[in-house]
Amino acid sequence: MFTRYASLCCRLSCKCSFPYQDYARYLKWLTLVLLSYVAVVFLVKVDWTAALEGAVAPTFPLTADSFTMIVAILGTTISPYLLFWQSSQEVEEINDKPEAEALRKSPGQAPAEMSRMRFDTFLGMAVSNIVAIAVMMSAAATLHAHGKTDIATAAEAAEALRPVAGDFAFALFSLGIIGTGMLAIPVLAGSAAYAFGEAQNWKCGLENKPWEAVGFYSVIAAAVLLGLGIEFSSIDPIKALFWSAVINGFVAVPIMAAMMWVASQRNQMGRFTVSTPAFIFGWAATAVMAVAAIVMLVLKLL
């Protein structure tokens, strides 16, 4: 997952004279810009005792707003697009390598491939969660601590940080925003194209030329134009991001349940059925997300 961001960005934007692997060798390091958010934490004044206590034993009011925030956090951590995107990228990687085959056809490749995917996913999720925690801690210690709780744009968040944390923290935070945008936009647009295109049985894949997969690339273009259009509309982009995360939190539940069910079926997966620890943790994560969504709805209706 960590290196897949670079591969997808390259494939989406660099369908020109150089293969994406050449770009991925350099572009993958762009993900390191996300660590600028971690640096911000050490440049601002953080009450580390309170922060650690809150991380180990968080407290929050049992209100609809609290559970809406929880659903949003879960939805942006386990987003449905990740499931479509990573599976599609694995298929494309098989197509890219003449020696690679689907594991059910070539089970001898399984140990190395499973190890690669496990490392890739663990590293990517670790980095993303560390960055997310750093963003929340730096925002809490600066913006929230000084009463700035209504942020409309990412630029406004960066500007609000400058007088509180200084120019260097402002520069790092801004660098993180730019890097995040360069990495996230192509991934989100590409994931939407894979999900919609495969549902319609269209020809999909970033290895295809635009005229070879018109529907697939049309979805990418529409997604990018829609995102640009929000900038020129009256829609608050920060609220739009928040509510899209809430929607992801709801949508992820049935998708995860279906995924866990299929992964446990031997007639579908053969020798690659999900392991017992993954089965337990997978269903536990699904249950937690389902409970949070249900509680949010109940509290909203009360």
123-165 per-position pLDDT tens digit = 888 888 888 888 888 888 877 777 777 777 767 777 766 766 6
| Mean of pLDDT over the chain | 78
Residue % of the chain over a pLDDT of 90: 13
Neighbours of 4 (CB within 10 A): 21
Give the list of residues 6+ apart from residue 89 with CB closer than 8 angstroms, or none. 4, 7, 8
Whether the per-residue pLDDT at 21 is higher than 50: the answer is: yes
Cα 261 versus chain centre, distance: 23
253 pLDDT more than 90: yes
Q: What was the pLDDT predicted at 137?
A: 83
User: How much is the average pLDDT of 29-52?
Assistant: 77
Number of domains in the chain: 1
Helix (H) or strand (E) holding 195: helix 167-199
What is the band of 10 on the pLDDT scale with cuts at 50, 70, 90?
very low
Query: In the chain, pLDDT over 70 holds for what percent of residues?
Result: 78
Three-class SS of residue 236?
A: coil
Query: Which one, of 66, 77, 132, lies nearest residue 292 by Cα?
Result: 66
Mean pLDDT of 183-199: 75
Q: Yes or no: say if 242 and 249 are a contact pair by the CB < 8 Å rule.
A: no
Segment among 86-100, 133-147, 219-233 with least mean pLDDT:
86-100
Question: In which domain, by residue range, is 88 found?
Answer: 4-301
CA angle 206, 247, 81 (to 5 degrees): 20
- pLDDT of amino acid 295: 94
Going by pLDDT thresholds of 50, 70 and 90, the confidence category of residue 244 is confident
Determine which of 28-37, 43-52, 129-138 has the lowest per-residue pLDDT on average: 28-37
Q: Is the pLDDT of residue 175 over 80?
A: no
Euclidean distance between CA atoms 63 and 67, whole angstroms: 7
**Whole-number pLDDT of residue 22:** 56
**Token reading at 47:** 């009450």
In the prediction, which pLDDT does 261 show?
93
Residue whose tokens read 């499973």: 114
CA dihedral 97, 1, 258, 202 (to 10 degrees): -50
Cβ atoms < 10 Å from Cβ of 61: 8
**How would you label 186-203 residue by residue, b for 16+ Cβ within 10 Å and e otherwise?**
bbbbbbbbbbbbbeeebe
pLDDT above 50: residue 269: yes
* More confident: 199 or 98: 199
pLDDT at 212 over 70: yes
pLDDT digits (tens, 9 = 90+) for 108-130: 777 877 788 888 888 888 888 88
What is the reported pLDDT for 164?
61
Q: Mean pLDDT, to the nearest integer, of 41-58?
A: 82
